[in-house]
Structure 1
Amino acid sequence: MNAPTGLIKIKGRYYAQVRVPLDIVESYGRKQHKESLKTGDYTEACRQLHAKVASIKQKFDDHRATLKTKAVAEAPMPALTPQSFADLGRQYGREIAERELTVRADLYEAAIAEPKEFWRSASQKFSESDQFNYFDKLMAEGDLDRVVGYIIRKRSEDRIADLKRMVDTGDMGDLLALALERQPGLDRRAHVALALTLARSEIAALQNSLSGDLEGHRTAPALTQTSASIPASTTPALPPISLDALFDKWKAETKPSASTLSTWRGIIRSLKAAFPEKADDAGSITTEDMIKWKDHLVVTGKTAKTINASYLACVRTIYAYGVNNKLVAVNPGLGVKSAGSRKAGTGRLPYNNDEVARLLELARGETSPAKRWLPWLAAQTGSRISEVAQLQGSYVMEQDGIHYLDIKPAPDAGSIKEEISERTVPIHPQLIADGFLNFVKGKGDGPLFYRRSSGDPDKKHASKGVSNHLGAWIRENGFTDPRKAPNHALRHWFKTEASRVGIDSRDVDKLQGHAPRNEADKYYHPDLSMKLAALKKIKLPPVKKVDETGLDSDEQPTD
């Protein structure tokens, strides 16, 4: 039986072999193209042969296309106006920078809103196991800044590599289509030249983005051989829109949380106060104005973190929305950044056992429901104070003899941080002994710690005021260490104390509403009895002193 045409065997392995067509044989560099079928089995080799031969012939076609593209690109070019290319490149580079900022914001929002779906979607982008493992580790740690940064870096690096491949091989179909869309009516040589300019501009913009310079406008090197003129790109003037109107349009479309709205409204007020004459025309605010505003914020004592992560992030996000929706021409916040860094000795700290014991004893003597019970609930659950401040009587439930809190958004437009924050937490026996269930019974099914809220998702929930008043009361009672947030230091303490008494870290995360630390932890689902057994290990109020041996003061060994 004769072997099929193109099938050969070398040292026990089968190969597909195809003669290189005469029209490309010289540039191809060989007369025969041979590829292994990676098998020594004749039947299997015959099965694979047709597809492999087709693949090789496609490579011949690709080679011809590359030769044609290179011939056009390398042909003597008529004179083109260097400035017109530079203008087109700069404009395209600015658009890429705007797009990258929007992508970052969208990724961050997706990571917060749907962390599971975000993990599932993003994890498919990592072909190398070490890349995936690092991404999975960042997700487990819950550090969304690093997670989004890592994905952006990989996405940008992949795109840069793809653009360089297009330029190097001449495989520029997508770039040529983009050039034609930007500047129709070009002859072939100018068309290819513009495609190369756009490719280099996009590479430069992405490299600037990776280096933290989102405003950088590195453009492609000026073309030296020029003759035909390309009209400079012009952008029609946009009708003016006020800062308030721009903010309202962004708000209506993105529907941010009430707390974000409240904070960002204040930031927009600050920007309007800095440039009152420009408040009715958001497009008139320039990058130089943003730098002046940033400098003013520094003088008023704002930290670099607050300026960058709150003030400038707000303005960049609002303007990015405006640019994408043709409401303003440029984003003046791009590239503006406070150069300060977080100083040593400013990071957040937990309360120690003495402080928690003193705070809980103070709370025991209070008659105000919020002051009496919220410190205890925060200490026994490790919750964010905003989560327990919006508890309803109907959220205190019982199952199989275990009383527990159903932590979720209040029905009157309350909110919690993210999906993983919604959880059930058993009530510590000490709270039951102190009469917490009787208090709940007396309040009925409605709010436990506030009277009523507006129900308007654009306004701060009433529980926010309760949380703020509680924090002020704690400060007034001598808890004045600026590194210990009056309410949130209890959440830090719970994490630390739970570790000290030997509670499984997976249980701690479930109790506090923290994301699983790795893929395996996502399969761990403790029931109420398991959670209660863990909680009982925490003594409330805590033992005041823990000596260097790790023993509580009432557990000291005797002689």
Structure 2
Amino acid sequence: MNRDGRFFARLVVPKDLRAAVGKSELRAPLGPDRRTAMKLLPGAVAQLQHQIAQAERKAAPAKTTSAPARYPLAPAQIALSHYQQRIAFDDELRNDVRHSYGFVDEALVQRLRDAMAGRLTDAELGALIGARVERFRAAGNLTAEPGSDEWRQIARALCVAEYEALSRVAERDEGDFTGKPEHPLLVNAKLPEAEPDPVSLSKLWDDYIKARTTAGFMKDSGKRMRPVVASLRKFLGHNDARNVTKKNLLDWRDQLLDELSAKTVSDIYLSAVRSLFLWAHDNERLPENPAATVKQAKPKKQRAREAGYTDAEAVNILKASRSYQPKSDPGGRVRETPESINAKRWVPILCAFTGARVSEITQLRKEDVRKEGDRWIIRITPDAGTMKAGHYRDVPLHRQIVEEGFIRFVEQSDAGPMFHNGKDSAKFAAKAVRMTNQVGTWLQECGLVPAGMQPNYAWRHRFKTQARDLGADIRIVDGIQGHAGRTASDGYGDVSITAKSRVIDSLPDYDLTP
């Protein structure tokens, strides 16, 4: 700075050190001649920085040995950072019209050479470059105690950087701006890459669900899988998807196995997480997929009998369904809802002759039953709740269903769902699943379901077996049950009502006489 024709070196004191220094800035006189002042400036600034460094040590004497570095850098990285700062500062000075050219202090250059060669004492190193070391300490890049081998290594590395920077300054004064560091310490050094922004695991999950629902999947908006991400976040103790490793997921899997079955862990928890991270990686939200190979072996299910109901079991269930009477309390009041009573009466026989999923039947509405010509048809549609296949299908009704009085029941029903009391279409799927579970529980409590059998899927297995025994075209059977085709050619053409009716009509009636 220039004050009344005299030049001064000026250095602002950091706010947290002003109490210790007693001033807001430090100055050192450089004389009235500008050329001489520029020559003396680097040495004067070094002395002022040394005073600040001493104040830092006095203000926090234990800091150098106790507190860990927040952003630790290797000596070469510290040197490279300092070199880049000095070159940037030189660029800034040359943009100032008052800076026509400078002078390199030859005495300073010699001291730097002596420091690089290891000929300076700790005190001399501190006076020469100590303030620079403390600047990096304040930034959290080092914890080396002054006078230690590590501290000397860092100080000498900074001298290398200062020497190289002064070399570039001298070259630039001659018009050469192409110079690069020549010392191996700087040539081989690389600064750490900037830490990438965190990726919220919760936000990632929400975006994944949105993408899946937009594409026509996850009709429940991910509610079934929500506990999976909640469990993972709780285990991790953080919400940054970038910091999730394969080891984290393996440890989480092992913890889940303490409470859940291997099948649940594999088919629900790990499956959901693999899908999430695969989507995140494919959409460039994460640089890699840590869940790609995280799996859990599960015991192969061994059957002790057929998967579907036998003839006798099917007849017993349909008889119990046909004669079902709700229980009443001592006062003669029936506590069971009409929808539950109707479900137990009609859902089993509808499943027996359609091979549909029970939840697809419990979500049926009055408007899903229609007549075409002389044929009664039910439409299984996602409009009524949810469907695994995602698109509607029409299924002709078997003659025995009509003869049992199902059409009369439909005609007497109010518009909307017939087997649950849902009023909000957004809740139809959940209501249907709840009724599905009630029907299954009732059958098990009545002792009509053999041990180890799934009461709701046994009808689907039985329907497929019956169709095979009748020699039915499996493509038509899949169209009735809503199973995906096995080959690309299965997707060509439609399975008509006529074709479906031939299979349905070939199924024999059940003898339900008491």
Partner of 1:539: 508
- CA spacing shift, 1:346–1:335, aligned 2, 3 Å: farther
> What SS does the corresponding residue of 2:426 show, helix, strand or coil?
coil
Tell me how far apart the structure 1 counterparts of residues 308 and 189 of structure 2 sit (CA, whole Å). 64
d(CA) in 1 for partners of 2:305 and 2:223?
25
Cross-structure match for 2:197: 238
Extract unaligned runs of 5+ from structure 1. 1-227, 545-559
Q: Under a length normalisation based on structure 2, what TM-score does the superposition of the two structures give?
A: 0.53
* Aligned with residue 407 of structure 2, among 426, 437, 445: 437
Establish whether residue 356 from structure 1 lines up as the match of residue 295 from structure 2: no
Question: Which letter maps to 1:440?
Answer: V
- Cα pair 1:381 1:512 within 8 Å, conserved: yes
Q: Distance in 2 between matches of 1:393 and 1:519?
A: 35
1:452 partnered with 2:411: no
1:484 aligns with 2:463: no
Question: Which one scores higher on RCO, CA 8 angstroms, separation ≥ 6?
Answer: 1
Supply the AA of the counterpart residue of 1:264: M
Question: Structure 2: how far apart are the matches of 1:522 and 1:424?
Answer: 17
CA contact (8 A) 1:346 1:483 kept: no
What aligned pairs does 1:102-113 form with structure 2 within 5 A after superposition?
A: none
Q: Distance in 2 between matches of 1:267 and 1:515?
A: 27
1:321, CA displacement in angstroms?
3.7
* Structure 1 counterpart of 2:395: 425
Is the radius of gyration larger for structure 1 or structure 2? 2
- Aligned partners of 1:354 and 1:512: how far apart in 2? 23
Q: Please state if 1:406 is matched with 2:379.
A: yes
**In 1: Cα distance, 2:401 partner to 2:221 partner:** 33
1:383: Cα distance to partner? 0.9
Q: Is the 8 A contact 1:385 1:487 kept in 2?
A: yes
Relative to 1, partners in 2 of residues 1:520 and 1:268: Cα closer, same or farther, differing over 3 Å? Answer: closer
Q: What amino acid is aligned across from residue 455 of structure 2 in structure 1?
A: P
Q: In the TM superposition, what are the counterparts of 1:36-115 in structure 2 within 5 Å?
A: none
Report the secondary structure of 2:412's partner residue: helix
Moved more, 490-499 or 345-354: 345-354
Taking the TM superposition and a 5 Å limit, the aligned residue runs for 1:89-168 are none
Partner of 2:181: none
1:396 and 2:366 correspond: no
Return the letter of the residue paired with 1:499: R
**Structure 1 Cα separation of the partners of residues 278 and 212 of structure 2:** 13
Does the aligned pair in 2 maintain the 1:395–1:406 contact within 8 Å?
yes
1:289-340 residue CA offsets vs partner (Å, 9 max, x unmatched): 211211122232412x432332112112223344455655554323222244
Partner of residue 252, structure 1:
210
* Structure 2 counterpart of 1:244, one-letter code: S
TM-score for the superposition, normalised by structure 1: 0.49
Deviations 1:174-225 (A, max 9, x none): xxxxxxxxxxxxxxxxxxxxxxxxxxxxxxxxxxxxxxxxxxxxxxxxxxxx
After superposition, give the CA deviation of every residue in 1:233-253 in whole Å (9 maximum; x if it has no partner): 846321352x43332222223
Alignment-derived partner of residue 352 in structure 2 = 379
Q: Percent identity?
A: 28
Deviation for aligned residue 1:529 = 4.4
CA distance in 1, matches of 2:252, 2:278: 18
State which of 349, 364, 387 in structure 2 corresponds to 1:416.
387
1:291 to 250, 255, 258: 250
8 Å CA contact 2:324, 2:345 repeated in 1: yes
| Deviation, structure 1 residue 382 | 0.7
Q: Distance in 2 between matches of 1:288 and 1:521?
A: 42
- Match 1:266 to one of 213, 218, 227: 227
Kindly state the Cα deviation for residue 381 of structure 1 after the two structures are TM-superposed: 0.5
Relative to structure 1, the CA distance from residue 316 to residue 360 in structure 2 (aligned partners, 3 Å threshold; closer, same or farther) is: same
Q: Deviations over 1:242-298 (max 9, x none)?
A: x433322222232242447122112123223434x32x4344443222112111222
Whole-angstrom distance in 2 between the partners of 1:285 and 1:502: 52
Instruction: Output the CA distance in 2 between the equivalents of 1:442 and 1:455.
Output: 21
Q: 1:410 is paired with a residue of what secondary structure?
A: helix
Instruction: Classify the secondary structure of the residue corresponding to 2:230.
Output: helix
One-letter code aligned to 2:290: P
Residues 525 and 331 (structure 1), Cα distance of their counterparts in 2 relative to 1, 3 Å cut: closer
Query: Partner residue of 1:184?
Result: none
Aligned to 1:208: none
* SS of equivalent residue, structure 1 residue 461: helix
- Alpha-carbon distance change, 302 to 442 in structure 1, aligned in 2, over 3 angstroms: same
What one-letter code is carried by the residue in structure 2 that aligns with 1:498?
Answer: A
The match for 2:430 is 461
Contact 1:369/1:449 (CA < 8 Å) preserved in 2?
Answer: yes
Distance 1:346 1:266 in 2: 33
- 8 Å CA contact retained: 2:360, 2:387: yes
Deviations along 1:26-51, one digit per CA (max 9) or x if unpaired, are: xxxxxxxxxxxxxxxxxxxxxxxxxx
Structure 1 CA distance for aligned equivalents of residues 294 and 212 of structure 2: 24
Q: What code does the residue aligned with 2:398 have? A: H
Shift of 1:460: 4.8
Name the CA shift for 1:436/1:235 in 2 (closer, same or farther; >3 Å): farther
SS at match of 2:394: strand
Which of residues 262, 269, 277 in structure 2 aligns to 1:311? 269
Report the RMSD for the aligned CA atoms in angstroms.
3.2
Q: Does 1:496 align with 2:465?
A: yes
Q: Deviations over 1:383-434 (max 9, x none)?
A: 11122222111111111111111222235xx221225x62221111111111
Q: Is the 8 A contact 1:409 1:415 kept in 2?
A: yes
Aligned-partner Cα distance in 2 for 1:348–1:268? 37
Contact kept, 8 Å, 2:209 with 2:218, in 1: the verdict is no
- For 2:191 and 2:270, the matched residues in 1 are separated by 32
Q: Which residue of 1 aligns with 2:59?
A: none
Q: 1:95 aligns to what? A: none
The one-letter code of the counterpart of 2:497 is: L
Give runs of aligned pairs for residues 190-269 of structure 1, distance below 5 A.
234=193, 236-239=195-198, 241=200, 243-255=201-213, 256-259=217-220, 261-269=222-230
Q: CA 1:339/1:521 → structure 2, altered by over 3 Å: closer, same or farther?
A: closer
Distance between the aligned counterparts of 2:322 and 2:407, measured in 1? 15
8 Å CA contact 2:318, 2:512 repeated in 1: no
Q: Is the 8 A contact 2:369 2:379 kept in 1?
A: yes
- CA 1:332–1:525 in structure 2 vs 1: closer, same or farther (change >3 Å)? closer
Q: Is the 8 A contact 2:364 2:419 kept in 1?
A: yes
Given that 2:352 and 2:459 are in contact with CA atoms closer than 8 Å, whether structure 1 keeps it comes out as: yes
Structure 1 counterpart of 2:425, one-letter code: G
Task: Give the letter aligned to residue 424 of structure 1.
Answer: D
